[in-house]
């Protein structure tokens, strides 16, 4: 076990120029993870390894320790496995890019943080990893720092994440106050003592954190923008691993959520809404990576929905399969972009299936998987989520999920058709240079394609698959009544799911292959809806309008105050004093009066101390001190005597 | 009449520091210019000796000079911190002063005198002594602010600091005179007795308390008594700014807490309510206004205001109604921890600013950091580390400090205050990371491309190494510091 | 005849206020300095008055310290003002606003 930990921490030192050590070390940790995984398979009881005592003092005692149980073992496999493949791919993809080393340093830092996140045995270690992945994501999104949009996207991602983190940290504090410990095992064992209100409060705070990290409504806007980063980053961080951290956290704390039905319902509703909402936006986007980004948001919505209906195993199942096929899709999209010399607009693609056959095939596999065509991975996991929603009587959520699934299938096939079929709309200049990617990139793609095909079978047959047995000890809802669902219902639901997927495919086929003009026609006919989708419901603009703009406006008001009100006020005092010399003039009385009659001048004070009494003039500062003093005295009097002294 | 030897032994570190300052002032005119560095090293040596003396006496509680001075673990903790910070300032100044061509050894003498003032502040148990300490510290700082006397900004900063500082200590002194009238003594113990007996219904006590709070709030730069901070920080020589931002703030907080808890412990709910208001205002203003700054020293000034706001959370906790002694002392120890950590990261950030000084031009506009990552990888990386720590992102030490403070607030039932703090900590990431973004994500201008020189003296490297070690080590393994802070927190009645 | 201590308090309060207002409204930096001195002297009146009222010598000791500190402060202050005058050719505080915002 110690070797294992060393292996993970070893990444930090892999500042190797070639990046080979980078993926080598990830590969090594993958092997370690594999060993661990085998160990856990043999004996699924949770094990804790404590590295050292990290924080102590007072009643707070936190160890830097790791917890290995089936849940973290599964996450480990996903993170290191997919991470390894993506690292291999990146060596090919990033070849010749400036800052190659920097890239791998960040990637490895990310892996370390992510492993801390999934392996930590207490909330604080989880939080460290949580912030660490956020930081690495920030650095990696801003990797192309010469692009202004990249820098902006990076900042946006980070600030939005910080909002979520604040919620998470608050949950940690509440947890500590209630349990006096931050270890999962001890805290979650005592959940029963909590009142429902407290459990709900903690669960909702956790949810805020999860929403921020996993890009759910209303904090999802950063994820599509995050596509400014290099494609392997999008694949690793913004599809396969980091964004699923929120799901991991919810599942990890499912005991808490089970106690708080309100929080559960919130999770489900947010998930369902996000699944549907993001899918509609995905319908009309033209940037290949943005389509995938919205599809990620939407798929994460499914996972949250699964958590919301208590289907934790299904959530993790979908997390795993999603990691496979979404990494596959992103990487093959990266391969497309690579071969088209950086072109990302699908309107400038088309007819690529002949030119880059391997990429085409793996992309198609990914599409089939995400659309839910059996027997590929996505079908099993998505179907299980929908079945759970249905049999637990969340029919509205089921409806959301079903429509979302239809849309998913539609926009993914739209993407495939526009990219790989039909007439080539590629810039002739670029067209000449189209080439298949090097094996360094295609081999990981093929491995992932294999996983996308076969990955679903670990959850087959539904409800009794191998994965369910494996995760039973950690992801079974508290007090769940195992109700047997008849095979008929399941089959029916499966049939519905298949027909939905095929329907989406069919429609896409019809619109983009059989009658290519139809899409444009529709977009004109439903111009309103089209524009709404294309502009992402104007959510970014909305946030700008209600949050960013008012802040700026406030700044302007401060400026105005400074230039007009305060300046005039001060100049008035100055004139008065000049005119009368040392004698007591009206203005001086006014000053004293202002000091004494604090209430009347509270408004002035607000404006004054707010921002720009910073006139650079000493006596203004002194005046603020005096007025502050009077205010303090006044408040104390009011407090003590219950009346105003003035 | 003679002074008992035991009393002198108790204040041995203070004596040594003053002695070093005096020796320095005497030797300065007679030493050849090339040997001036020796004087700086003499000061550092003195500090090292003092460090060991204080560390050895840790844990004992000794009164001296008929209870005017107390040396307890609380005072020792702060003194140790102050030695480290002063030592770092001196080491940083050796290179910086040469760069600025104000290479006068007096400077180190003033640092030592100022340090003496701070040491007296933290171990004074009588308002007279604390007042003298404050004045010794402040007067030395006024002079140090104007050390670049050929530069209008520096002198102006000095004048502003002087006028406002004298004004605020006038308020403080008036408060002390009133409390003397009420208690018949300036000893904190007797003040506590008088406050308990009379309560705040006595206007003398009330006004005295207000004036004293204002006097200290000015020194720690809490809103609305913060106005001097940005101006003075910007104008003063960078190493002095660092010293003010760290050492004078720490010492003021130490004395503030002692006066509030030991002197005015009887009316805790009243002052903690007031400080709560100041704390929130400070958090809001410090963090929001920092966003729009373009001068890095001003930005750090507002950031130091904001950090004072975080530390005030601890003061509020220490005095909050209905908190048990354990929670209240957790409030005190979390301030100690926070300011210790804050010292390292702020020292580091200012050291970077000092190092970036480019021939004749101050490297203190945000634009001067543009594309630093291209020009000086290591420097940019260190600056990023300090910024991340200031923003409170784990695994750096800044996170640990904030974590303890907020935890203390939540334990005291002030969850909403912790939420306010968290929100503004999230806001603060914005302006700290802007520095990171400017360094890493912008191309340096061609002119900057050519400018490759860093004013990096070997001693400055030592300072940076210290700061980095503090930021990283205390982040990864804060245990020892936490237990020291916990065990040396002020004993509460 | 004894003068009640309240009278001294009122006097010192008045002197303190005059000093305070002086700092706020005057522009000449020397006069501001003198106003600060007024504030400190108001304090001294307090100390002496209380000292005699309470029969406690500590107050008068405090006055000595306060006077010394005030003298040191003025010495440093005047030096700063001279340096300032060399740069600005003025001792009007309105002229010193290089550092703002």
Q: What is residue A620's three-state secondary structure?
A: helix
What residues of chain B lie within 8 A of the CB of A138, using their CB?
Answer: 433
Element (H, E) at A51: strand A47-57
CB contact under 8 A, A619 and C93: yes
Alpha helices in A283-356 (DSSP H): 288-308, 312-339
Rounded distance between C-alpha atoms, residue C101 and residue A76, angstroms: 51
Q: What's the rounded mean pLDDT across residues B466-470?
A: 91
B206 at interface of A, judged by CB pairs closer than 8 A: yes
Tell which residue, A11, A189, A38, has the closest CA to residue A111: A11
- The token pair at B206 is 């009330």
Q: Which residues contact B375 (CB under 8 A, 6 or more apart)?
A: B444, B448, B449, B451, B452
Domain membership flag for residue C100: no
Contact A437, A359 (CB under 8 A): yes
What residues of chain B lie within 8 A of the CB of C76, using their CB?
Answer: 139, 142-143, 162
> Percent helix, strand and coil across chain B, each rounded to 5?
80, 5, 20
Q: Which residues contact A362 (CB under 8 A, 6 or more apart)?
A: A328, A332, A442, A445, A446, A448, A449
Percent of chain B exceeding pLDDT 90 equals: 39
Contact B386, B307 (CB under 8 A): no
Q: What's the rounded mean pLDDT across residues B185-199?
A: 89
pLDDT tens for residues B37-51?
A: 888 999 999 999 999
CB contact under 8 A, A619 and C27: yes
Domain membership flag for residue C32: yes
Note the pLDDT of residue B231. Answer: 86
Contact B107, B97 (CB under 8 A): yes
Rounded distance between C-alpha atoms, residue A20 and residue A14, angstroms: 9
B480 at interface of A, judged by CB pairs closer than 8 A: no
What does chain C come to in residues?
Answer: 101
Nearest CA distance, A630 vs chain C (angstrom): 13
Q: B452: which DSSP letter?
A: -
Inform me whether the pLDDT recorded for B381 exceeds 90.
Answer: no
Phi-psi region for residue B131, left (φ > 0), alpha (ψ -120 to 50) or beta? alpha
Note the pLDDT of residue A552. Answer: 54
Note the pLDDT of residue B288. Answer: 79
Task: Find how far residue C50's CA is from the centre of its chain.
Answer: 19
CATH at C28: 1.10.287.3510
Domain membership flag for residue C66: yes
Rounded distance between C-alpha atoms, residue B410 and residue B334, angstroms: 13
Q: How many angstroms separate the most distant Cα atoms in chain B?
A: 72
Rounded distance between C-alpha atoms, residue A1 and residue A14, angstroms: 21
Q: Within the 566-595 window of chain A, which residues sit less than 8 Å (CB to CB) from chain C?
A: 573-574, 577-578, 582, 587-588, 591-592
Q: Which residue has the higher pLDDT, B461 or A488?
A: B461
CB contact under 8 A, A173 and B223: no
What residues of chain A lie within 8 A of the CB of C20, using their CB?
Answer: 626
pLDDT tens for residues A212-246?
A: 888 787 777 778 888 877 888 888 877 778 888 88
Rounded distance between C-alpha atoms, residue B487 and residue B333, angstroms: 8
Rounded distance between C-alpha atoms, residue C92 and residue C29, angstroms: 6
CB contact under 8 A, C93 and A574: no
C-beta atoms surrounding B75 within 10 Å: 27
What residues of chain B lie within 8 A of the CB of A140, using their CB?
Answer: none
Note the pLDDT of residue A589. Answer: 38
Inform me whether the pLDDT recorded for B14 exceeds 60.
Answer: yes
Q: How many angstroms separate the most distant Cα atoms in chain C?
A: 57
Domain membership flag for residue C101: no
Rg over CA atoms, chain C:
17
CB contact under 8 A, A591 and C21: yes
Note the pLDDT of residue A415. Answer: 83
Low-confidence ranges of chain A (pLDDT < 70): 1-30, 33, 36-60, 96-101, 145-148, 429-430, 460-465, 473-487, 512-619, 634-646
| Torsion sign over Cα B428, B434, B440, B446 | negative
Contact A309, A386 (CB under 8 A): no
- The token pair at C29 is 């930096």
- The token pair at A365 is 């596999």
Q: Within the 148-187 window of chain A, which residues sit less than 8 Å (CB to CB) from chain B?
A: 150-151, 154-155, 158-159, 162-163, 165-166, 169-170, 173-174, 176-177
pLDDT tens for residues C52-69?
A: 888 888 889 899 999 999
Tell which residue, A135, A131, A255, A126, has the closest CA to residue A202: A255
Mean pLDDT, rounded, of chain B: 87
Contact C33, C22 (CB under 8 A): no
Contact A421, A353 (CB under 8 A): yes
pLDDT tens for residues C77-96?
A: 999 999 888 888 887 777 76
Q: What's the rounded mean pLDDT across residues B442-454?
A: 67
Alpha helices in A510-641 (DSSP H): 518-525, 527-534, 539-543, 549-560, 567-580, 586-596, 602-610, 618-641
What does chain B come to in residues?
Answer: 493
Q: How confident is the model at residue C6 (pLDDT cuts 50, 70, 90)?
A: confident
Contact A5, A32 (CB under 8 A): no
Which residue is it, tokens 């970036």? B356
Q: Which residue has the higher pLDDT, B478 or B310?
A: B310
> Percent helix, strand and coil across chain A, each rounded to 5?
75, 5, 20
Contact B334, B487 (CB under 8 A): no
What residues of chain B lie within 8 A of the CB of C4, using their CB?
Answer: none
Q: Report the predicted TM-score, pTM, of the whole model to 2 decimal places.
A: 0.82
A55 at interface of B, judged by CB pairs closer than 8 A: yes
Which of A9, A607, A630, A632 to probe by mutation at the B interface, max B CB count within 10 Å?
A: A632
Size of interface A-C (CB pairs under 8 A): 48
Strand partners, A50: A65
Task: Find how far residue A56's CA is from the centre of its chain.
Answer: 32
CB contact under 8 A, B270 and A159: no
Element (H, E) at B64: strand B62-64
Q: Which residue has the higher pLDDT, A429 or B4?
A: B4
Domain membership flag for residue C67: yes
Q: At B218, phi and psi to the nearest 5?
A: -65, -45
Strand partners, A60: A57
Rounded distance between C-alpha atoms, residue A594 and residue A611, angstroms: 19
Domain membership flag for residue C40: yes
Contact A91, A23 (CB under 8 A): yes
Note the pLDDT of residue A536. Answer: 62
pLDDT tens for residues B166-176?
A: 999 999 999 99
Q: Within the 222-261 window of chain B, which residues sit less than 8 Å (CB to CB) from chain A?
A: 223-225, 227-228, 230-231
Range from A375-384, B351-360, C72-81 carrying the lowest mean pLDDT: B351-360
Q: Which residue has the higher pLDDT, B278 or C3?
A: B278
Give the C-alpha distances (Å, rounded to integers) separating A47 from A68, A117, A468, A614, B75: 5, 16, 20, 58, 44
Domain membership flag for residue C71: yes
Domains in chain C, number = 1
- The token pair at B116 is 């003496």
Asked if the interface predicted TM-score (ipTM) of this complex is over 0.90, the answer is yes
Note the pLDDT of residue A51. Answer: 63
Q: Determine the Cα angle at A451 with ends A447 and A455, to 5°.
A: 170
Domain membership flag for residue C89: yes
* Domain around C58: 5-95
Contact B113, B18 (CB under 8 A): yes
- The token pair at A360 is 């085409």
- The token pair at B55 is 């560390």
Rounded distance between C-alpha atoms, residue A40 and residue A6, angstroms: 19
Task: Find how far residue B349's CA is from the centre of its chain.
Answer: 14
CB contact under 8 A, A619 and C96: no
Note the pLDDT of residue A5. Answer: 45
CB contact under 8 A, C50 and B135: no
């Amino acid at each position: 076990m110690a070797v294992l930990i060393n292996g993970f921490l070893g990444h930090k030192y892999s500042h190797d120029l070639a990046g080979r050590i980078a993926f080598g070390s990830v590969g090594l940790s993958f092997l370690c993870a594999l060993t661990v995984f085998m160990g856990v398979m043999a004996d699924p009881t949770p094990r804790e390894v404590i590295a050292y005592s990290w924080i102590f003092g007072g009643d707070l005692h936190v160890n830097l320790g790791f917890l290995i149980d089936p849940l973290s073992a599964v996450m480990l496999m996903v993170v290191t496995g997919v991470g390894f493949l993506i690292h291999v791919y990146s060596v090919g993809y990033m070849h010749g890019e400036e800052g190659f080393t920097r890239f791998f340093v960040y990637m490895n830092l990310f892996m370390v943080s992510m492993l801390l996140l999934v392996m930590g045995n207490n909330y604080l270690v989880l939080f460290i990893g949580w912030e660490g992945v956020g930081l690495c994501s920030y650095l990696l999104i801003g990797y192309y720092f010469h692009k202004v949009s990249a820098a902006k996207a990076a900042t946006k991602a980070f600030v939005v994440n910080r909002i979520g983190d604040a919620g998470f940290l608050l949950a940690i504090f509440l947890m500590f106050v209630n349990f006096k410990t931050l270890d999962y095992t001890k805290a979650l064992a005592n959940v029963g003592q909590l009142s429902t209100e407290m459990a709900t409060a903690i669960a909702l705070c956790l949810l805020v954190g999860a929403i921020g990290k996993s890009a759910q409504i209303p904090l999802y806007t950063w994820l599509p923008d995050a596509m400014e980063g290099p494609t392997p980053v999008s694949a690793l961080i913004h599809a396969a691993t980091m964004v699923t951290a929120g799901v991991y956290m919810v599942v990890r704390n499912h005991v808490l959520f089970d106690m708080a039905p309100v929080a559960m319902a919130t999770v489900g509703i947010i998930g369902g809404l996000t699944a549907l909402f993001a899918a509609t936006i995905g319908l009309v986007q033209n940037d290949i990576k943005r389509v995938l980004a919205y599809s990620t948001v939407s798929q994460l919505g499914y996972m949250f929905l699964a958590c919301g209906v208590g289907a934790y195993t299904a959530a993790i199942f979908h997390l795993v399969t999603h990691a496979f096929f979404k990494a596959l899709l992103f990487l093959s999209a990266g391969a497309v972009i690579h071969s088209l010399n950086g072109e990302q607009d699908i309107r400038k693609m088309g007819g690529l299936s002949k030119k880059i056959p391997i990429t085409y095939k793996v992309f198609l596999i990914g599409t089939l998987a995400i659309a839910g065509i059996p027997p590929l991975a996505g079908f099993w996991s998505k179907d299980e989520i929908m079945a759970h929603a249905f049999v637990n009587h969340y029919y509205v959520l089921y409806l959301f999920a079903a429509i979302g699934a239809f849309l998913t299938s539609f926009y993914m096939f739209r993407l495939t058709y526009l990219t790989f079929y039909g007439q080539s709309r590629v810039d002739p200049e670029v067209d000449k240079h189209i080439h298949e990617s090097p094996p360094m990139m295609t081999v990981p793609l093929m491995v992932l394609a294999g996983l996308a095909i076969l990955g679903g079978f670990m959850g087959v047959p539904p409800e009794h698959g191998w994965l369910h047995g494996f995760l039973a000890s950690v992801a079974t809802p508290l007090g769940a009544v195992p109700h047997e669902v008849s095979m008929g219902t399941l089959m029916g639901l499966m049939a519905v799911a298949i027909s939905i997927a095929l329907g989406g495919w069919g429609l896409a086929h019809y619109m983009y292959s059989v009658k290519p003009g139809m899409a444009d026609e529709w977009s004109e006919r439903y111009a309103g809806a089209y524009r709404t989708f294309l502009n992402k419901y104007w959510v970014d603009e909305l946030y700008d309008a209600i949050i960013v703009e008012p802040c700026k406006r406030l700044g302007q008001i401060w400026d105005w105050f400074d230039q007009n009100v305060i300046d005039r006020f001060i100049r008035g005092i100055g004139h008065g004093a000049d005119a009368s010399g040392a004698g007591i003039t009206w203005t001086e009385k006014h000053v004293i009066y202002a000091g004494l009659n604090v209430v009347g001048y509270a408004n002035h004070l607000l404006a004054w101390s707010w921002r720009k009494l910073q006139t650079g003039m000493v006596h203004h500062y002194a005046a603020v001190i005096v007025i502050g003093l009077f205010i303090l005295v006044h408040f104390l009097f009011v407090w003590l005597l219950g009346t105003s002294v003035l | 009449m003679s002074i008992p030897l035991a009393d002198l032994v108790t204040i041995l570190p203070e004596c040594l520091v003053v002695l070093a300052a005096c020796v320095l002032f005497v030797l300065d005119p007679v030493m050849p210019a090339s040997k001036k560095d020796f004087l700086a090293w003499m000061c550092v040596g003195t500090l090292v000796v003092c460090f060991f003396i204080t560390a050895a006496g840790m844990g004992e509680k000794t009164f001296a000079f008929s209870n005017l001075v107390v040396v307890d673990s609380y005072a020792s903790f702060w003194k140790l911190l102050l030695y480290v910070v002063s030592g770092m300032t001196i080491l940083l100044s050796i290179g910086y002063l040469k760069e600025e061509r104000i290479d006068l050894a007096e400077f180190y003498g003033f640092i030592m005198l100022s340090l003496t003032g701070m040491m007296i502040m933290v171990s004074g148990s009588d308002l007279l002594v604390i007042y003298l300490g404050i004045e010794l510290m402040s007067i030395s700082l006024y002079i140090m602010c104007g050390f670049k006397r050929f530069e209008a900004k520096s002198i102006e900063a000095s004048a502003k600091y002087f006028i406002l500082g004298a004004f605020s200590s006038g308020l403080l002194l008036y408060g002390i005179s009133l409390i003397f009238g009420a208690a018949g003594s300036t000893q904190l113990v007797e003040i506590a007795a008088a406050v308990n007996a009379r309560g705040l219904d006595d206007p003398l006590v009330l006004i005295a308390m207000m004036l004293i709070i204002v006097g200290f709030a000015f020194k720690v730069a809490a809103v609305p008594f913060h106005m001097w901070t940005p101006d003075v920080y910007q104008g003063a020589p960078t190493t002095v700014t660092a010293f003010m931002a760290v050492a004078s703030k720490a010492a003021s907080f130490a004395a503030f807490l002692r006066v509030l808890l030991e002197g005015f412990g009887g009316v805790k709910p009243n002052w903690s309510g007031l400080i709560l208001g100041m704390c929130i205002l400070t958090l809001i203003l410090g963090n929001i206004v920092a966003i729009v700054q373009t001068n890095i020293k001003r930005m750090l000034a507002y950031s130091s205001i904001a950090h004072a706001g975080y530390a005030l959370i601890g003061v509020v906790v220490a005095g909050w109604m209905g908190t048990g002694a354990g929670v209240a002392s957790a409030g005190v120890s979390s301030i100690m921890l926070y300011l210790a950590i804050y010292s390292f990261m702020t020292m580091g950030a200012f050291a970077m600013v000092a190092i970036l000084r480019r021939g004749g031009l101050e490297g203190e506009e945000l634009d001067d950091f543009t594309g630093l990552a291209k020009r000086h990888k290591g420097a940019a990386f260190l600056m990023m580390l300090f910024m991340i720590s200031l923003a409170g992102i784990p695994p750096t030490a800044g996170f640990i400090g904030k974590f303890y403070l907020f935890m203390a607030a939540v334990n005291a039932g002030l969850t909403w205050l912790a939420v306010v703090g968290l929100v503004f900590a999230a806001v603060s990431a914005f302006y700290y990371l802007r520095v990171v973004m400017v360094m890493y994500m912008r191309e340096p201008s061609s002119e900057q491309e050519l400018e490759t020189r860093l004013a990096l003296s070997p001693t400055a490297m030592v300072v940076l190494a210290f700061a980095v070690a503090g930021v990283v080590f205390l982040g990864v393994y804060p245990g020892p510091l936490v237990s020291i802070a916990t065990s040396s927190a002020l004993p509460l009645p | 005849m004894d003068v009640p201590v309240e009278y001294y308090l009122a006097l010192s309060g008045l002197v303190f206020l005059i000093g305070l207002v002086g700092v706020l409204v005057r522009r000449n930096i020397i006069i501001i300095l003198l106003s600060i001195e007024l504030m400190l002297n108001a304090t001294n009146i307090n100390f002496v008055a209380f000292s005699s009222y309470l029969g406690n010598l500590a107050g008068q000791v405090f006055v000595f310290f306060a006077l010394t500190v005030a003298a040191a402060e003025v010495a440093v202050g005047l030096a700063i003002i001279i340096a300032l005058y060399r740069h600005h050719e003025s001792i009007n505080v309105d002229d010193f606003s290089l550092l703002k915002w």
